[in-house]
């Protein structure tokens, strides 16, 4: 059985950043997206890709897939740098902002206006292109970071976790990614470290 992603962030752009798990831990992070298939599964679970689109891309053997996977991680790391710098009240690296800009431009070059179901809609005409999940994530990232909601991005108070989420609660009191998930993740990791390392 394939594992589900734990989507706690309330926005796919933040859930993407959380897929490099334990990002700030001394012994190094844990990668949750290890293949193009993982990327498709993530994009489908977050609702960015429809099940039909995901099926099409899964069926299509593509030699561009490895490159898309690498770019998606590059997008993720640039977004991560910008978001955590902002949370820490620091300037993000110029290079990170430039990379996000390039990803957004590529995504927008692949968007188009189409007439469908009685109105003009934004569409992705090349929806069988292996880069579709990358374009969707690039667009979602640019949309979030430039929106008013960007001010509601928070990091989990567990310093080993620091998973990101949108705190849209009225009093902005949410401190944890998810009390249950966070506690269990910490416990499971400690267990692995204690029993796997020796």
Q: How far apart are the C-alpha atoms of 174 and 171, rounded to whole Å?
A: 8
Cα angle, residue 23 at apex, residues 155 and 16 outer, rounded to 5°: 70
41, 1 Cβ separation under 8 angstroms: no
> Closest CB to Zn ion among 23 and 41?
23
> Closest CB to Zn ion among 55 and 175?
175
> Closest CB to Zn ion among 124 and 163?
163
Which of 30, 29, 31, 57 has the alpha carbon at shortest distance from 43? 57
Which of 1, 8, 100 has the alpha carbon at shortest distance from 41? 1
Task: Give least dist CB 180 to Zn ion, A.
Answer: 10
> Closest CB to Zn ion among 96 and 158?
158
Tokens read off for 128: 């069988």
The distance of Cα 62 from the centroid of its chain, to the nearest Å, equals 22
153, 174 Cβ separation under 8 angstroms: no
Residues that bind Zn ion (CB under 5 A): 156, 158, 161, 163, 177, 182
Task: Give least dist CB 195 to Zn ion, A.
Answer: 22
Task: Give least dist CB 22 to Zn ion, A.
Answer: 10
> Closest CB to Zn ion among 76 and 189?
189
Task: Give least dist CB 157 to Zn ion, A.
Answer: 7
Task: Give least dist CB 185 to Zn ion, A.
Answer: 7
Q: What Å distances lie between residue 184 and 1, 28, 181, 198, CA to CA?
A: 20, 19, 5, 22
């Amino acid at each position: 059985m394939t594992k589900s992603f734990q989507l706690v962030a309330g926005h796919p752009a933040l859930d993407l950043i959380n897929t490099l798990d334990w990002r700030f831990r001394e012994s190094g992070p844990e990668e949750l997206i290890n293949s193009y298939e993982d990327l498709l599964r993530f994009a489908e679970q977050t609702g960015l890709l429809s099940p039909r689109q995901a099926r099409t891309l899964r069926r299509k053997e593509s030699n561009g897939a490895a490159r898309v996977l690498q770019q998606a991680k590059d997008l993720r790391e640039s977004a991560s740098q910008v978001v955590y710098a902002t949370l820490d009240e620091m300037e993000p690296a110029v290079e990170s902002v430039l990379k996000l800009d390039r990803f957004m431009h590529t995504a927008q070059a692949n968007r188009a206006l189409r007439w469908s179901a009685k109105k003009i809609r934004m569409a992705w005409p090349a929806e069988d292109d292996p880069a579709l999940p990358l374009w969707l994530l690039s667009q979602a990232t640019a949309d979030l970071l430039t929106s008013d909601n960007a001010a509601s991005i928070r990091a989990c108070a567990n310093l080993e976790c620091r998973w990101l989420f949108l705190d849209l609660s009225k009093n902005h009191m949410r401190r944890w990614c998810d009390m249950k998930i966070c506690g269990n993740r910490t416990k499971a990791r400690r267990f692995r470290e204690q029993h796997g390392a020796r």
